[in-house]
């Protein structure tokens, strides 16, 4: 039997379609791209904030670690805060944010009326106390201009070792140059060192011979009496304007030394009959007192501990000294030295000059935001900020969020009866223990 075939087609049902139209596919792809962009942005924001938060945990644990090391060793231990290359403008926060050459409203961070720049701290490292220096003889001299006994001279042929890392200036770290035994070149004397003369302690500073600051060497200001001759080594000679301190004069071979420092306050108990110093032919200042070897103590710069390397904060994260509250103003400048130290006693408290601050605040910031000239509370900031607070009496360390300002939280922080605009106290959360809501 011959079969029959029908040409009748089955009706097409829309629900059984096997493909998408081009328009539908484009819509789906667009939606996926938008969702992916939102996801990537959220991840980036989270990662940006985590860099600062992880660095904050790192700094807090490092400070507490130094305090624990001091307790364990029963010796002073601390943390050194190191800047980057200070010849690189990228390692500063500049007050002149818009670069117009003047201080506009809100740009004068320290209120001194001068366009300043503040260095950024990039790394930290553990340090320990160096032994006090008591070698040679120290004489206290009367300042010829002020008539105050506030100049000291180290009468010892190797006093320059205190401020010269490369003793023979050969560019090589020789064995005899490792004075404190930590395997590094160190400058052992810096500003604000302490010296004990008799029963009292004094603060030590380097001294410019231009004592009255008039830009020239007046009578009595050429303290070390050094000079250079005109060509052919014939008179007249020209006095040399020095920045005094224990170092070898660069224009003369060793052992031509300066070895002068200034103390603050002036020496308290000068001898009743000051005398000329017969051992220093160029010196005509009066001698107020003399201390032989072992009768004085000069504190030296803490040393980096052996086998300890500096650690860097997370990529792009720095301590913003412009918006920190360090122990004193010199921390914000860091011009003469590229580091500052905080030391802990075996009892856990901060010792030395930073101890007088009571509370110290360090702001961890994103360097990209600093480069853009943004204040920490500017809504255009790309990442989070954190405040690390050190209480110098107890050695406790806390991490807090940045206080965004009275307007943001509706709190009259300074108790003046009004809610102030702007940022009244960025450390309000840190000092009160409150947290952001």
Please indicate, yes or no, if residue 46 is contained in any of the structural domains: yes
Please tell me the predicted confidence (pLDDT) of residue 174.
77
- Kindly state whether residues 171 and 188 are assigned to the same domain: yes
pLDDT band of residue 5 (cuts 50, 70, 90) is very low
Please tell me the predicted confidence (pLDDT) of residue 342.
94
- Kindly state whether residues 196 and 328 are assigned to the same domain: no
- Kindly state whether residues 75 and 160 are assigned to the same domain: no
Please tell me the predicted confidence (pLDDT) of residue 151.
84
pLDDT band of residue 67 (cuts 50, 70, 90) is very high
Residue-range definition of the domain harbouring residue 253:
137-298
Of 245, 267, 298, which marks where a domain is finished? 298
Please indicate, yes or no, if residue 434 is contained in any of the structural domains: no
Top-confidence residue, 45 or 351: 351
Lowest mean pLDDT, pick from 11-25, 202-216, 300-314, 421-435: 11-25
User: What average pLDDT does the chain have?
Assistant: 76
- Kindly state whether residues 282 and 332 are assigned to the same domain: no
pLDDT band of residue 280 (cuts 50, 70, 90) is very low
Best-predicted range by mean pLDDT (17-26, 88-97, 206-215, 365-374):
365-374
Of 247, 265, 298, which marks where a domain is finished? 298
CATH number at residue 377: 3.55.40.10
User: What confidence tens digit (pLDDT) does each residue in 17-42 have?
Assistant: 566 677 777 777 887 777 776 665 54
- Kindly state whether residues 290 and 316 are assigned to the same domain: no
pLDDT band of residue 72 (cuts 50, 70, 90) is very high
- Kindly state whether residues 397 and 316 are assigned to the same domain: yes
What is the value of pTM for the model shown? 0.69
Please indicate, yes or no, if residue 28 is contained in any of the structural domains: no
Please indicate, yes or no, if residue 314 is contained in any of the structural domains: yes
- Kindly state whether residues 241 and 213 are assigned to the same domain: yes
Residue 117 pLDDT exceeds 60: yes
Please indicate, yes or no, if residue 180 is contained in any of the structural domains: yes
For the chain, what is the domain count? 2
- Kindly state whether residues 288 and 142 are assigned to the same domain: yes
- Kindly state whether residues 156 and 116 are assigned to the same domain: no
Residue 297 pLDDT exceeds 50: yes
- Kindly state whether residues 155 and 119 are assigned to the same domain: no
Please indicate, yes or no, if residue 426 is contained in any of the structural domains: no
Please tell me the predicted confidence (pLDDT) of residue 221.
67
- Kindly state whether residues 256 and 314 are assigned to the same domain: no
Neighbours of 197 (CB within 10 A): 20
Please indicate, yes or no, if residue 151 is contained in any of the structural domains: yes
- Kindly state whether residues 274 and 322 are assigned to the same domain: no
Please indicate, yes or no, if residue 387 is contained in any of the structural domains: yes
């Amino acid at each position: 039997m011959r079969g029959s075939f029908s040409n009748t087609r089955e009706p097409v049902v829309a629900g059984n379609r096997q493909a998408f139209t081009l328009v539908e596919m484009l819509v789906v792809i667009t939606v996926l791209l938008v969702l992916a962009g939102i996801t990537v942005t959220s991840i980036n924001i989270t990662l940006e904030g985590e860099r600062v938060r992880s660095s904050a945990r790192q700094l807090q644990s490092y400070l507490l670690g130094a305090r624990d090391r001091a307790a364990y060793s029963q010796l002073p231990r601390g943390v050194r805060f190191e800047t980057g290359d200070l010849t690189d403008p990228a390692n500063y926060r500049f007050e002149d944010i818009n670069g117009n050459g003047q201080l506009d409203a809100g740009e004068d961070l320290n209120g001194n009326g001068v366009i300043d720049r503040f260095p950024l701290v990039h790394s930290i490292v553990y340090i320990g106390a160096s032994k006090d220096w008591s070698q040679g003889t120290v004489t206290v001299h009367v300042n010829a201009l002020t008539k105050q006994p506030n100049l000291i001279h180290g009468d010892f042929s190797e006093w320059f070792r205190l401020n010269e890392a490369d003793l023979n200036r050969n560019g090589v770290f020789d064995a005899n140059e490792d004075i404190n035994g930590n395997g590094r070149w160190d400058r052992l004397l810096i500003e604000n060192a302490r010296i004990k003369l008799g029963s009292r302690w004094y603060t030590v500073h380097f001294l410019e011979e231009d004592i009255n600051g008039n830009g020239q060497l007046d009578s009595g200001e050429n303290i070390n009496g050094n000079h250079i001759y005109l060509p052919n080594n014939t008179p007249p000679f020209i006095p040399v304007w020095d920045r005094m301190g224990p170092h070898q004069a660069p224009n003369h071979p060793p052992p031509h030394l300066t070895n002068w420092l200034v103390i603050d306050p002036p020496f308290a108990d000068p001898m009743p009959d000051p005398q000329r110093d017969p051992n220093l032919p160029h010196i005509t200042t009066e001698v107020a007192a003399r201390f032989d070897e072992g009768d004085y103590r000069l504190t030296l710069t803490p040393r980096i501990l052996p086998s300890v390397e500096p650690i860097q904060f997370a990529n792009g994260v720095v301590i913003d000294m412009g918006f920190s509250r360090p122990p004193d103003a010199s921390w914000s400048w860091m011009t003469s030295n590229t580091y500052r130290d905080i030391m802990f006693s075996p009892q856990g408290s901060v010792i030395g000059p930073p101890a007088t601050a009571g509370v110290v605040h360090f702001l961890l910031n994103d360097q990209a935001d600093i480069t853009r000239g943004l204040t920490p509370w500017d809504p255009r900031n790309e990442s989070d900020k954190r405040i690390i607070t050190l209480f110098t009496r107890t050695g406790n360390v806390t991490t807090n969020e940045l206080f965004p300002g009275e307007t943001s939280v509706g709190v009259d922080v300074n108790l003046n009866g009004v809610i102030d605009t702007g940022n009244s106290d960025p450390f309000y959360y840190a000092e009160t223990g409150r947290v952001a809501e």
